[in-house]
């Protein structure tokens, strides 16, 4: 995939899909900014990339804080001179899954702040930089929960539906500006969020697999391949799309 020497930011890159995506970009010779709220986790990913001959740095940021996202973009441009790609992956789930009438204000506010407002902050500031330099590419990590109903998971579902909408709206706005914006919608994928769910409800494992035609969870590396492909020069005529990677679940 054609991403050699592209300057790439991946948010929430300390683990899961974000970490796999950062490593996959580096494998294809992009220069990767590994951003995460936890510096130690991000540094481990950078160390791994460097050990395999790649170029990578850590810039910590809480995407729910505008000033920290602003510094993420500024520091990236100061170090590398431009920003070619941003992957808006940082995301969280609620502490408690509950029906809408019993949903806590804390879970609503915290999830929306990271998953929806955080993506807006990253898109807003990345787009400003990309307009200055004459182009760029944004890949947002949405979810199958942003395409279909998700029980007892209101804030997460709302935030991911929002990411799909923001992706399409912004893609339309910037289609003539050499800026492409797409999203990937993973289904049930091996990740910290899934681990958290299964730790609370171990009985969910077989139930979830029973609704996946492939009878298995996705791998973070499989999602990463789609992200890097969308960010590459191989997909110049693709914008405003949501690519669903769910083992057939949506069928």
Q: Which residues pair with 25 in a beta bridge?
A: none
What backbone torsions phi and psi does residue 136 show, to the nearest 5 degrees?
170, -175
CA distance 242 to 232: 16
**Upper half-sphere CA count for residue 36 (Cβ side, 13 Å):** 22
Sign (positive or negative) of CA dihedral 28, 30, 31, 33: negative
* Phi, psi for 85 (deg, rounded to 5): -140, 140
Alpha carbon distance 159, 90 (integer Å)? 12
Check if 156 is active-site. Answer: yes
The DSSP code for 212 is S
DSSP secondary structure letter of residue 60 = -
Distances (CA, A) of 123 to 31, 89, 138, 174: 20, 12, 8, 12
Set 121, 156, 174, 217: catalytic member = 156
Instruction: Name the residues annotated as catalytic.
Output: 156
């Amino acid at each position: 995939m054609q991403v050699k020497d592209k300057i790439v930011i991946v948010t929430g890159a300390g683990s899961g899909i974000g970490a796999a995506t950062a490593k996959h970009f580096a494998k294809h010779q992009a220069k990767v900014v590994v951003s995460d709220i936890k510096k130690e986790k991000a540094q481990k990913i950078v160390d791994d990339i460097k050990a395999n001959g790649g170029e990578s740095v850590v810039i910590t940021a809480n995407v729910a804080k505008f000033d920290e996202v602003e510094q993420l973009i500024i520091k990236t441009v100061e170090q590398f001179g431009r920003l070619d790609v941003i992957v808006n992956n940082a995301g969280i789930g609620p502490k408690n899954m509950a029906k809408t009438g019993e949903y806590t204000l804390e879970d609503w506010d915290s999830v929306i702040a990271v998953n929806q407002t955080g993506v807006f902050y990253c898109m807003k500031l990345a787009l400003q930089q990309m307009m200055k330099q004459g182009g760029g590419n944004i890949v947002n990590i949405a979810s199958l929960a942003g395409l279909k109903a998700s029980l007892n998971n209101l804030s997460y579902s709302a935030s991911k539906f929002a990411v799909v909408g923001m992706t399409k709206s912004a893609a339309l706005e910037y289609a003539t500006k050499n800026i492409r914006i797409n999203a990937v919608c993973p289904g049930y994928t091996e990740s910290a969020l899934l681990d958290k769910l299964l730790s609370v409800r171990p009985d969910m494992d077989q139930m979830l697999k029973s609704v996946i035609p492939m009878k298995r969870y996705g791998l973070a590396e499989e999602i990463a391949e789609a992200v890097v492909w969308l960010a590459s020069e191989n997909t110049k005529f693709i914008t405003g799309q949501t690519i669903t990677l769910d083992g057939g679940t949506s069928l």
